[in-house]
Amino acid sequence: MKPKSISAATRPRVGKWLVTGPPLAYLLLFFAIPSLIMVLASFRTPGEFGGLAPLFEEGRLDLNLDSYVRFFSESIYAQIFAKSVWYALATTLFCLALAYPLAALIAKSGRRYRDLLLLLVILPFWSNFLIRVYAWMIIFGPNAALARTVNGVLAWFGHEPVPLLFSSFAVLVCLVYVHLPFMVLPLYANLEKHDQALLDAAQDLGANAWQRFWRITFPLSLPGVYAGAALVFIPALGIFAIPDILGGPEDSLIGNVIKQQFLETRDWPFGSVLSIVLTIAALFLAGLAACVARGNLGTPSSVKAARA
Amino acid sequence: MALLEIQNVTRRFGDFTAVDNVSIGIEAGEFFTLLGPSGCGKTTLLRMIAGFDLPDGGRVLLNGEDLAGRPPERRPMRMVFQSYALFPHMTVEGNVAFPLQMAKTPAAEIGAKIAAALEDVRLQGFGKRYPHELSGGQKQRVALGRALVTHPAVLLLDEPLAALDAKLREEMQIELINLQKEVGITFVYVTHDQTEALALSHRIAVMNKGRVEQLDAPSKIYGFPRTRFVADFIGQCNLFSGPVAASGNGLVTVDVPALGPVRVATDSKLAPGRPATIALRPEKIRIEATAPADTPDNHYRGTVADLLYMGDVTVYRVATPGGMRVEALLANSQSGRAKFFEVGDAVEMSWSVEAGHFIEE
Ligand SMILES: Nc1ncnc2c1ncn2[C@@H]1O[C@H](COP(=O)(O)OP(=O)(O)O)[C@@H](O)[C@H]1O
Ligand SMILES: [Mg+2]
């Protein structure tokens, strides 16, 4: 007879697989395997009419580093990369600057208003992303009130009129607009948990409002800041629809180049190389942020100051 | 004039009066306690002293200066919060350094001051730890060290020991007494625990429903409670009510129904017929198996209705023939003998005219 303990021990393990199995299978099927296919594609030769050339040519394996060589030898791609990082960084910083006071306001408001304000933050998700981007096209349009007001003021100072649409300005504004909720929500979730007694204690110990923010609230909100930054920075780094619709030719970002490689130039291996570099860059920057976060939490500035 | 003057302070929340016309003068170097049941307005009063809340009426003066215009960060007082409120992202040193940095203490002096404060609260060697790495008692000490490091004029403590277990609480009480003596800072201490208040304080203000019922030294509060509330709240107390039967020569006799005439020595003049209440502590009552040899001032018979053995003492509830329950307390000073009487035993109770005293109604 089988000892009872074994069946009792296996049962939870079966349950665990039932729970974790489907999502694991999903990730394997739709993330891990496609990623591996992409890595393989990056070493292959583009086909004559797009797609990929056969893997076996005249009995030998056709794998090469041509696309990687191209990426590192033509500086234009590194420049576009740098520009994309720059746009993503600017988006993250603007989102942080706008979201922090908003999240703090929501966290501080009473129960009734809090839910309403949160609803307003996520309300834009109810309409399609592309529709919202096209809406900005109308707002920035040359005959819209915004452009006419801006150019009216400029003319008053004797300045040439400027186009708002198809500009870096339009791209950045829309990037910030689209990503703002992703910064507000984690910040709110963090700030909402803060203990008022800590602020009272800080005030009692002589800290004014500014010192209370910088020494207590802000350091304690850093996990929320990092979560929001990651949620904004990573998608903003790979975005292509917004520069496509609202940007000029100068505003092409890495996402646009990747899309171009697959849909227009039909150079799949090179597109794969760009995608891989983008993924690695995002992972690297996220890892760097995590390290900074841990270092920051490990030795707060107050302690350094106390030791000095 | 006292160091800290609370003058006719009132605080209302809507039509509820949390603090009702309270006036207290606290002297420099005093260990002063606000004692009262939960919800009686102790925290509200303390927060008005600290400046987190402003009175609707009355004033708070420190060294004769009205503090009304001063926010908490500019009052030379420190508060120790019940939850400790340690900054979780700073080490013990960082926490203790915080008020020094806020006071713009030169960096060269900060290290020595932190070390001195940590020594005061016996936490040497814990400077590099984070709050989550400390026990409850240690957190409490950090909160004390942080509050004391800048040598404030007054330290405000809101039930600082409530979260500790009984053994540690007793230890911390002794430490608090020593610490207060050592640093010589005025302590304003809030608690709902009467034994804690009696053990720690130089003076106690007993609060009830936002008012101060009695302000006295611990021995006076315990021995001579002035009101029914104070008598009831501070330890056990027998309360005998009835009309005054006779009065004169510093002796008043009250006719207590179900017990009999009770004689009390008093200076106050009570007209016969007037209702009066006598407070009598259980330990002032003598109970014996046989009638006392001398002729005591007050002497009654009864039977033990129930008893509570507490180790050091036993509390007997004696039923009189008239149906009244009188509580008496006997120290179990003879080792090996748990109690002197059993339930159902007939006993003789007696007490002197000095044992009881009149309270206000
Ligand atoms: N901010 C407030 N708003 C409304 N009522 C309050 C507020 N603060 C305290 N109270 C009320 O005032 C009374 C006294 O509270 P508190 O001072 O905290 O009592 P204690 O500290 O003696 O337990 C309580 O009944 C409480 O509900
Ligand atoms: Mg309280």
- For chain A, the farthest-separated pair of C-alpha atoms sits apart, in whole angstroms, at 97
State the average pLDDT for chain A.
Answer: 88
pLDDT band at B46 (very low <50, low <70, confident <90, very high): very high
Residues B104, B108, B114, B120, Cα dihedral to 10° = -110
Q: Is the sign of the CA dihedral B46, B48, B53, B57 positive or negative?
A: positive
Q: Which of B166, B212, B205, B159 is nearest to B38 (CA)?
A: B159
Tokens of B150: 């800048």
The C-alpha atoms of residue B298 and residue B348 are separated, in whole angstroms, by 11
Q: Which residues pair with B208 in a beta bridge?
A: B211
Residue B240, number of CB atoms within 10 A of its CB: 21
Contact with chain B for residue A293, Cβ under 8 A: no
Q: Do B87 and A202 touch (CB under 8 A)?
A: yes
B105: confidence class by pLDDT, cuts 50, 70, 90: very high
The pLDDT, as a whole number, for residue B335 is 61
Crossing angle between the packed helical segments A75-108 and A254-263, to the nearest 10 degrees? 120
Ligand 1 pocket: which of B12, B13, B233 to mutate (most atoms within 8 A of CB)? B13
B154: tokens are: 């007054």
CB contact under 8 A, A206 and B146: no
Q: Is B18 in the pocket of ligand 1 (CB under 6 A)?
A: yes
What is the C-alpha to C-alpha distance for residues B90 and B143, in angstroms, rounded to an integer? 13
How many whole angstroms from B23 Cα to the centroid of ligand 1? 19
- Token pair 């215009």 is found at B69
CB B22 within 8 A of CB B210: yes
Name the more confident of A14 and B275.
B275
* Cα B196 to Cα A146, B36, B171, B335, distances in angstroms: 70, 12, 11, 28
Q: Is B44 in the pocket of ligand 1 (CB under 6 A)?
A: yes
Nearest-CB residue to A303 (from B85, B88, B94): B94
CA dihedral (A292, A293, A295, A301) positive or negative: positive
- Cα nearest neighbour of B91 on chain A: A303
Q: Are B170 and B164 in contact (CB under 8 A)?
A: no
Residue nearest to atom 9 of ligand 1 (CA): B44
Read off the pLDDT of residues B170-228 as tens digits, 9 standing for 90 and up.
989 999 999 999 989 999 999 999 999 999 999 999 999 999 999 999 999 999 999 99
Which tokens go with B294?
Answer: 């001398």
pLDDT at position B40 is: 95
Domains and CATH numbers, chain B: 4-232 (3.40.50.300), 238-360 (2.40.50.140)
Pocket of ligand 1 contains residue B39 by CB under 6 Å: yes
ipTM surpasses 0.90? no
Q: Indicate if the pLDDT at residue B58 is higher than 50.
A: yes
pLDDT at A303 over 80: no
CA proximity to A267, closest of A62, A35, A44: A44
User: Which residue is listed with tokens 């307003």?
Assistant: A120
Give Cβ neighbours of residue A135 (< 8 Å, ≥ 6 apart).
none
Q: Note the pLDDT of residue A305.
A: 39
B225-275 residue pLDDT tens: 999 999 999 988 999 999 999 888 889 999 999 899 999 998 888 888 899
> Cβ distance A237 to A278 under 8 Å?
yes
Summarised one tens digit per residue, pLDDT across range B149-177 is 999 999 999 999 988 888 889 989 999 99
Phi and psi of A307, rounded to 5°?
-80, -25
Nearest CA to ligand 1 atom 6: B13
Query: Which structural domains are found in chain A, ordered by start?
Result: 38-47+60-307 (1.10.3720.10)
Amino acid B331: pLDDT: 86
Tell me the chain A residues in contact with residue B52 when contact means C-beta distances shorter than 8 Å.
Answer: 200, 203-204
Q: Tell me, using a 6 A CB cutoff, whether residue B15 lines ligand 1.
A: no
Q: How many CA within 13 A on the CB side of residue B10?
A: 11
Of A287-301, B18-32, B61-75, the range with the lowest mean pLDDT is: A287-301
Under the banding of pLDDT at 50, 70 and 90, the label for residue A304 is: very low
The predicted-structure confidence for A201-245, as pLDDT tens digits, reads as follows 999 999 999 999 999 999 999 999 999 999 999 999 999 999 999
- For residue B288, pLDDT over 90 is answered with no
